[in-house]
A = this chain, B = another copy of it.
Amino acid sequence: MPQFLELLPRQEALDTFIHNLPIPHPKMEQTRTIDSNGRILLEDIISPELSPPFSRSTVDGYAVIAADTFGASDSMPVYLPVTGEVAMGKPADFSLLPGCTCLIHTGGMLPEGADAVVMLEDTQIASPNEIEFFKSVAAGENIITAGEDVRPGDVVIKAGSRMGPAEIGGLLALGILDVMTAQPPLVGILSSGDEIIPPQCQPQPGQIRDINSYSLQALIQRYGGQAKLYGIAPDELDALERIMKRAFEECDMLIVTAGSSASTRDLTSTVIRQLGKPGILVHGVRIRPGKPTILAVCDGKPVIGLPGNPVSALVIASFFAIPALEHLMGKTQTTPRPVLKAELTLNVPSVTGREDFIPVHLFLAKDGYKAEPIFFKSNMIFSLARSNGLLRIPADAVGLSAGESVEVYLYL
Contacts and interface: CB of A to CB of B under 8 A. Distances in A.
Interface of A: 1, 33-34, 37-38, 51-54, 56, 58, 60, 86-92, 105-109, 120, 144, 148-150, 156-157, 164-170, 172-175, 177, 193-196, 199-212, 214-219, 221-222, 235, 259-264, 308-310, 314, 334-336, 338-341, 362, 364, 369, 377-385, 387-389, 410-412
Contacts of A382: 51, 149-150, 156-157, 170
A383 B380 CA distance: 44
Contacts of A221: 37
A168 B218 contact: yes
A173 to B, nearest CB: 5
Given A1-B120, A34-B214, A169-B310, 19 more contacts: A37-B218, A37-B221, A53-B208, A86-B206, A105-B263, A107-B208, A120-B262, A149-B379, A156-B385, A165-B314, A166-B387, A170-B385, A173-B208, A175-B209, A335-B388, A336-B362, A336-B389, A338-B340, A338-B410
B172 A209 contact: yes
Contact of A385 (B166, B177, B362): B166
Counted per complex, copies of this chain come to 2
A56 B175 CA distance: 60
Contacts of A339: 338, 340
Nearest to A36: B218
Given A173-B199, A206-B91, A369 B107 contact: no
A129 B153 CA distance: 78
Given A173-B211, A339-B340, A379-B58, A222 B37 contact: yes
- Chain A interface, DSSP helix/strand/loop, else mixed: loop
B209 A148 contact: no
Nearest to A378: B58
A205 B173 CA distance: 15
B261 A60 contact: yes
Contacts of A175: 199-202, 209
Contacts of A216: 165
Query: Which 9 residue pairs spanning A and B have beta carbons closest together?
Result: A169-B215, A105-B261, A338-B338, A91-B205, A107-B260, A89-B194, A89-B195, A172-B199, A169-B211
A204 B92 CA distance: 11
A177 B202 CA distance: 12
A381 B109 CA distance: 18
A61 to B, nearest CB: 10
